[in-house]
Structure 1
Amino acid sequence: MIRGDRIFGAVMIVVALGYILSASSIQTSFMSDPVGPRIFPYMIAAVVILSSLVMVLRPDPDQDWPAGPMVAQLGLALAVLVGYAYAITPLGFILPTTIAAGVISWQIGGNPRRAAIAGLGLAVGLFVLFRVILGLGLKGLPAGMGF
Protein backbone atom coordinates (compact mmCIF):
# COMPACT_ATOMS: atom_id res chain seq x y z
CA MET A 1 0.00 0.00 0.00
CA ILE A 2 2.94 2.32 0.53
CA ARG A 3 3.70 2.33 -3.18
CA GLY A 4 0.00 2.65 -4.03
CA ASP A 5 -0.38 5.67 -1.75
CA ARG A 6 2.60 7.36 -3.34
CA ILE A 7 1.40 6.67 -6.88
CA PHE A 8 -2.10 7.90 -6.06
CA GLY A 9 -0.70 11.01 -4.36
CA ALA A 10 1.49 11.83 -7.37
CA VAL A 11 -1.41 11.32 -9.79
CA MET A 12 -3.65 13.58 -7.69
CA ILE A 13 -1.00 16.31 -7.67
CA VAL A 14 -0.96 16.21 -11.47
CA VAL A 15 -4.79 16.29 -11.55
CA ALA A 16 -4.84 19.26 -9.14
CA LEU A 17 -2.31 21.13 -11.27
CA GLY A 18 -4.51 20.49 -14.31
CA TYR A 19 -7.47 21.77 -12.31
CA ILE A 20 -5.55 24.97 -11.54
CA LEU A 21 -4.67 25.36 -15.20
CA SER A 22 -8.30 24.86 -16.18
CA ALA A 23 -9.53 27.29 -13.52
CA SER A 24 -7.09 29.94 -14.67
CA SER A 25 -8.94 30.16 -17.96
CA ILE A 26 -12.25 31.12 -16.29
CA GLN A 27 -13.41 34.41 -17.77
CA THR A 28 -14.23 37.19 -15.34
CA SER A 29 -16.72 39.92 -16.09
CA PHE A 30 -16.27 43.53 -15.14
CA MET A 31 -19.06 43.13 -12.55
CA SER A 32 -17.57 40.20 -10.62
CA ASP A 33 -16.85 40.37 -6.93
CA PRO A 34 -13.34 41.33 -5.75
CA VAL A 35 -12.36 37.73 -5.05
CA GLY A 36 -13.42 36.52 -8.49
CA PRO A 37 -14.66 33.12 -9.67
CA ARG A 38 -11.23 31.47 -9.67
CA ILE A 39 -10.55 31.49 -5.94
CA PHE A 40 -12.79 28.52 -5.05
CA PRO A 41 -11.20 26.14 -7.61
CA TYR A 42 -7.77 27.34 -6.47
CA MET A 43 -8.66 26.55 -2.85
CA ILE A 44 -9.90 23.07 -3.78
CA ALA A 45 -6.70 22.40 -5.75
CA ALA A 46 -4.55 23.62 -2.84
CA VAL A 47 -6.26 21.20 -0.43
CA VAL A 48 -5.83 18.33 -2.92
CA ILE A 49 -2.15 19.15 -3.39
CA LEU A 50 -1.51 19.34 0.37
CA SER A 51 -3.36 16.07 0.99
CA SER A 52 -1.53 14.38 -1.86
CA LEU A 53 1.84 15.58 -0.58
CA VAL A 54 1.06 13.96 2.76
CA MET A 55 0.25 10.70 0.96
CA VAL A 56 3.51 10.86 -1.01
CA LEU A 57 5.72 11.81 1.94
CA ARG A 58 4.03 9.78 4.71
CA PRO A 59 2.17 6.83 3.19
CA ASP A 60 0.24 4.40 5.36
CA PRO A 61 1.80 1.01 6.07
CA ASP A 62 0.62 -1.94 4.01
CA GLN A 63 -3.02 -2.80 4.62
CA ASP A 64 -5.25 -5.59 3.41
CA TRP A 65 -7.55 -4.68 0.52
CA PRO A 66 -11.27 -5.06 1.15
CA ALA A 67 -12.89 -8.24 -0.04
CA GLY A 68 -16.33 -9.72 -0.54
CA PRO A 69 -19.19 -7.71 0.99
CA MET A 70 -17.09 -4.57 1.40
CA VAL A 71 -16.33 -4.49 -2.33
CA ALA A 72 -20.06 -4.81 -3.02
CA GLN A 73 -20.79 -1.90 -0.66
CA LEU A 74 -18.14 0.22 -2.36
CA GLY A 75 -19.63 -0.66 -5.74
CA LEU A 76 -23.10 0.34 -4.51
CA ALA A 77 -21.77 3.67 -3.21
CA LEU A 78 -20.07 4.31 -6.56
CA ALA A 79 -23.26 3.46 -8.46
CA VAL A 80 -25.30 5.78 -6.21
CA LEU A 81 -22.88 8.67 -6.76
CA VAL A 82 -22.79 8.16 -10.53
CA GLY A 83 -26.58 7.97 -10.60
CA TYR A 84 -26.71 11.14 -8.49
CA ALA A 85 -24.54 12.98 -11.00
CA TYR A 86 -26.87 12.01 -13.83
CA ALA A 87 -30.13 12.60 -11.90
CA ILE A 88 -29.45 16.01 -10.43
CA THR A 89 -30.09 17.96 -13.67
CA PRO A 90 -33.45 16.46 -14.67
CA LEU A 91 -34.79 15.84 -11.14
CA GLY A 92 -33.49 18.92 -9.35
CA PHE A 93 -31.36 18.98 -6.20
CA ILE A 94 -33.60 17.81 -3.37
CA LEU A 95 -34.83 14.39 -4.58
CA PRO A 96 -31.50 12.97 -5.85
CA THR A 97 -29.64 14.35 -2.82
CA THR A 98 -32.19 12.79 -0.46
CA ILE A 99 -31.79 9.39 -2.13
CA ALA A 100 -27.99 9.49 -2.38
CA ALA A 101 -27.46 10.78 1.16
CA GLY A 102 -29.99 8.29 2.51
CA VAL A 103 -28.37 5.28 0.82
CA ILE A 104 -24.88 6.29 1.89
CA SER A 105 -26.09 7.00 5.45
CA TRP A 106 -27.67 3.56 5.52
CA GLN A 107 -24.40 2.02 4.33
CA ILE A 108 -22.47 3.71 7.11
CA GLY A 109 -24.53 1.77 9.59
CA GLY A 110 -27.76 3.56 10.28
CA ASN A 111 -31.13 1.91 10.19
CA PRO A 112 -33.18 2.65 7.05
CA ARG A 113 -35.65 5.02 8.74
CA ARG A 114 -32.96 7.18 10.31
CA ALA A 115 -30.93 7.13 7.08
CA ALA A 116 -33.95 8.39 5.13
CA ILE A 117 -34.51 11.18 7.66
CA ALA A 118 -30.82 12.10 7.53
CA GLY A 119 -30.90 12.13 3.72
CA LEU A 120 -33.94 14.41 3.63
CA GLY A 121 -32.50 16.71 6.29
CA LEU A 122 -29.19 16.94 4.47
CA ALA A 123 -30.87 17.64 1.12
CA VAL A 124 -33.13 20.39 2.47
CA GLY A 125 -30.37 21.90 4.60
CA LEU A 126 -27.91 22.01 1.72
CA PHE A 127 -30.56 23.42 -0.59
CA VAL A 128 -31.27 26.24 1.85
CA LEU A 129 -27.54 26.87 2.25
CA PHE A 130 -26.84 26.94 -1.49
CA ARG A 131 -30.01 28.65 -2.71
CA VAL A 132 -31.00 31.01 0.07
CA ILE A 133 -27.78 31.84 1.89
CA LEU A 134 -25.24 31.62 -0.96
CA GLY A 135 -27.70 32.72 -3.65
CA LEU A 136 -26.82 30.03 -6.20
CA GLY A 137 -29.26 29.36 -9.03
CA LEU A 138 -29.98 25.82 -7.91
CA LYS A 139 -33.13 24.04 -9.11
CA GLY A 140 -34.76 22.35 -6.12
CA LEU A 141 -37.35 20.19 -7.86
CA PRO A 142 -37.97 19.00 -11.43
CA ALA A 143 -39.21 21.62 -13.89
CA GLY A 144 -42.85 22.50 -13.31
CA MET A 145 -42.97 21.25 -9.71
CA GLY A 146 -42.05 24.44 -7.86
CA PHE A 147 -38.87 26.08 -6.74
Structure 2
Amino acid sequence: MIRGDRIFGSVVIVIALGYILSARGIETSFMSDPVGPRVFPYMIAAVMIVCSLVMVLRPDPEADWPAGPMLVQLAIAFGVLVAYAYAITPLGFIVPTAFASGVLCWQIGGKPVRAAITGMGLGIGLWVLFRLILGLGLRGLPAGWGF
Protein backbone atom coordinates (compact mmCIF):
# COMPACT_ATOMS: atom_id res chain seq x y z
CA MET A 1 0.00 0.00 0.00
CA ILE A 2 2.93 2.33 0.56
CA ARG A 3 3.81 2.38 -3.13
CA GLY A 4 0.13 2.58 -4.11
CA ASP A 5 -0.47 5.57 -1.83
CA ARG A 6 2.50 7.39 -3.29
CA ILE A 7 1.44 6.70 -6.86
CA PHE A 8 -2.16 7.75 -6.16
CA GLY A 9 -1.00 10.90 -4.35
CA SER A 10 1.26 11.84 -7.26
CA VAL A 11 -1.53 11.33 -9.78
CA VAL A 12 -3.92 13.49 -7.72
CA ILE A 13 -1.28 16.25 -7.54
CA VAL A 14 -1.04 16.23 -11.34
CA ILE A 15 -4.85 16.34 -11.60
CA ALA A 16 -4.99 19.26 -9.13
CA LEU A 17 -2.40 21.15 -11.14
CA GLY A 18 -4.47 20.56 -14.28
CA TYR A 19 -7.49 21.80 -12.35
CA ILE A 20 -5.61 25.02 -11.52
CA LEU A 21 -4.58 25.48 -15.14
CA SER A 22 -8.16 25.05 -16.34
CA ALA A 23 -9.45 27.44 -13.68
CA ARG A 24 -7.08 30.12 -14.94
CA GLY A 25 -9.23 30.37 -18.07
CA ILE A 26 -12.39 31.26 -16.17
CA GLU A 27 -13.38 34.87 -16.75
CA THR A 28 -14.66 36.81 -13.76
CA SER A 29 -17.07 39.70 -13.95
CA PHE A 30 -16.54 42.95 -12.09
CA MET A 31 -19.44 42.11 -9.75
CA SER A 32 -18.34 38.67 -8.57
CA ASP A 33 -18.16 37.75 -4.90
CA PRO A 34 -14.80 37.24 -3.12
CA VAL A 35 -14.96 33.47 -3.60
CA GLY A 36 -15.80 33.78 -7.24
CA PRO A 37 -15.71 31.33 -10.10
CA ARG A 38 -11.91 31.29 -10.18
CA VAL A 39 -11.02 31.32 -6.47
CA PHE A 40 -13.20 28.34 -5.56
CA PRO A 41 -11.41 25.90 -7.92
CA TYR A 42 -8.08 27.20 -6.60
CA MET A 43 -9.17 26.40 -3.05
CA ILE A 44 -10.31 22.90 -4.03
CA ALA A 45 -7.02 22.27 -5.85
CA ALA A 46 -5.02 23.50 -2.85
CA VAL A 47 -6.82 21.05 -0.54
CA MET A 48 -6.24 18.26 -3.08
CA ILE A 49 -2.52 19.05 -3.21
CA VAL A 50 -2.15 19.17 0.58
CA CYS A 51 -3.96 15.85 1.02
CA SER A 52 -1.94 14.27 -1.78
CA LEU A 53 1.33 15.47 -0.31
CA VAL A 54 0.39 13.80 2.97
CA MET A 55 -0.23 10.56 1.06
CA VAL A 56 3.09 10.82 -0.75
CA LEU A 57 5.18 11.79 2.30
CA ARG A 58 3.43 9.65 4.94
CA PRO A 59 1.80 6.65 3.25
CA ASP A 60 -0.15 4.08 5.22
CA PRO A 61 1.43 0.72 5.92
CA GLU A 62 0.32 -2.29 3.92
CA ALA A 63 -3.38 -2.89 4.39
CA ASP A 64 -5.48 -6.02 4.15
CA TRP A 65 -7.83 -5.92 1.19
CA PRO A 66 -11.41 -7.06 1.70
CA ALA A 67 -12.38 -10.48 0.41
CA GLY A 68 -15.44 -12.61 -0.16
CA PRO A 69 -18.70 -11.20 1.20
CA MET A 70 -17.27 -7.71 1.68
CA LEU A 71 -16.43 -7.49 -2.02
CA VAL A 72 -20.03 -8.42 -2.82
CA GLN A 73 -21.26 -5.68 -0.45
CA LEU A 74 -18.95 -3.15 -2.12
CA ALA A 75 -20.15 -4.21 -5.58
CA ILE A 76 -23.79 -3.79 -4.49
CA ALA A 77 -23.06 -0.32 -3.07
CA PHE A 78 -21.26 0.65 -6.27
CA GLY A 79 -24.15 -0.61 -8.39
CA VAL A 80 -26.69 1.28 -6.29
CA LEU A 81 -24.72 4.53 -6.63
CA VAL A 82 -24.33 4.13 -10.40
CA ALA A 83 -28.05 3.37 -10.74
CA TYR A 84 -28.78 6.44 -8.58
CA ALA A 85 -26.78 8.65 -10.91
CA TYR A 86 -28.70 7.39 -13.93
CA ALA A 87 -32.13 7.41 -12.23
CA ILE A 88 -32.10 10.90 -10.75
CA THR A 89 -32.81 12.69 -14.05
CA PRO A 90 -35.81 10.69 -15.26
CA LEU A 91 -37.29 9.89 -11.82
CA GLY A 92 -36.60 13.14 -9.99
CA PHE A 93 -34.76 13.46 -6.68
CA ILE A 94 -37.01 11.91 -4.03
CA VAL A 95 -37.56 8.35 -5.32
CA PRO A 96 -33.95 7.52 -6.33
CA THR A 97 -32.58 9.14 -3.16
CA ALA A 98 -35.01 7.22 -0.96
CA PHE A 99 -34.16 3.93 -2.68
CA ALA A 100 -30.37 4.45 -2.69
CA SER A 101 -30.14 5.67 0.90
CA GLY A 102 -32.48 2.90 2.06
CA VAL A 103 -30.36 0.19 0.43
CA LEU A 104 -27.13 1.69 1.77
CA CYS A 105 -28.59 1.99 5.28
CA TRP A 106 -29.67 -1.64 5.13
CA GLN A 107 -26.17 -2.63 3.97
CA ILE A 108 -24.44 -1.08 6.94
CA GLY A 109 -26.47 -3.16 9.32
CA GLY A 110 -29.86 -1.57 9.62
CA LYS A 111 -33.08 -3.51 9.81
CA PRO A 112 -35.04 -3.46 6.52
CA VAL A 113 -38.05 -1.52 7.83
CA ARG A 114 -35.90 1.08 9.57
CA ALA A 115 -33.69 1.37 6.48
CA ALA A 116 -36.74 1.98 4.30
CA ILE A 117 -38.09 4.62 6.68
CA THR A 118 -34.65 6.27 6.81
CA GLY A 119 -34.46 6.24 3.01
CA MET A 120 -37.87 7.87 2.64
CA GLY A 121 -37.01 10.43 5.31
CA LEU A 122 -33.73 11.30 3.61
CA GLY A 123 -35.32 11.52 0.17
CA ILE A 124 -38.06 13.88 1.31
CA GLY A 125 -35.97 15.76 3.88
CA LEU A 126 -33.08 16.46 1.52
CA TRP A 127 -35.49 17.57 -1.20
CA VAL A 128 -37.13 20.00 1.23
CA LEU A 129 -33.71 21.29 2.25
CA PHE A 130 -32.39 21.71 -1.30
CA ARG A 131 -35.56 22.91 -3.01
CA LEU A 132 -37.51 24.86 -0.42
CA ILE A 133 -34.84 26.12 1.96
CA LEU A 134 -31.84 26.58 -0.36
CA GLY A 135 -33.95 27.38 -3.44
CA LEU A 136 -32.22 25.01 -5.87
CA GLY A 137 -34.05 24.07 -9.06
CA LEU A 138 -34.41 20.41 -8.12
CA ARG A 139 -37.28 18.34 -9.49
CA GLY A 140 -38.69 16.15 -6.74
CA LEU A 141 -40.70 13.66 -8.79
CA PRO A 142 -40.75 12.58 -12.43
CA ALA A 143 -41.83 15.21 -14.95
CA GLY A 144 -45.58 15.68 -14.98
CA TRP A 145 -46.18 14.50 -11.41
CA GLY A 146 -46.46 18.03 -10.02
CA PHE A 147 -43.31 18.63 -7.98
Deviations 1:25-83 (CA, angstroms, capped at 9, x unpaired): 45656776554345554444443333322222221111111111111111111111111
Over 3 Å counting, the alpha-carbon distance change for 1:33 and 1:139 in structure 2 is farther
Superposition misfits of 4+ residues, deviation over 6 angstroms: none
Over 3 Å counting, the alpha-carbon distance change for 1:137 and 1:20 in structure 2 is farther
Equivalent residue number for residue 129 of structure 1: 129
**Does 2:43 match 1:47?**
no
Equivalent residue number for residue 58 of structure 1: 58
- Structure 2 alignment gaps of length 5 or more: none
- Structure 1 alignment gaps of length 5 or more: none
Distance 1:29 1:133 in 2: 27
Equivalent residue number for residue 84 of structure 2: 84
* Aligned pairs (5 A) from 1:1-147: 1-26=1-26, 35-147=35-147
Distance 1:8 1:39 in 2: 25
Distance 1:53 1:86 in 2: 34
Distance 2:26 2:138 in 1: 20
Over 3 Å counting, the alpha-carbon distance change for 1:81 and 1:54 in structure 2 is same
CA-based RMSD of the aligned residues comes to 2.3
Distance 1:31 1:140 in 2: 32
Query: Which structure has the larger Rg?
Result: 2
Q: Which range moves more in the overlay, 93-102 or 13-22?
A: 13-22
- Compute the TM-score of the two structures, normalised by the length of structure 2: 0.83
Distance 2:22 2:58 in 1: 29
Q: Report sequence identity in percent.
A: 76
- Compute the TM-score of the two structures, normalised by the length of structure 1: 0.83
Over 3 Å counting, the alpha-carbon distance change for 1:57 and 1:40 in structure 2 is same
Letter in 2 for 1:142: P
User: Does the residue aligned with 1:96 lie in a helix, a strand or coil?
Assistant: helix
Letter in 2 for 1:115: A
Deviations 1:112-132 (CA, angstroms, capped at 9, x unpaired): 111112222222222122212
Following TM superposition, by how much is the alpha carbon of 1:92 offset from its aligned partner in structure 2, in angstroms? 0.7
Distance 2:132 2:30 in 1: 25
Distance 2:140 2:28 in 1: 27
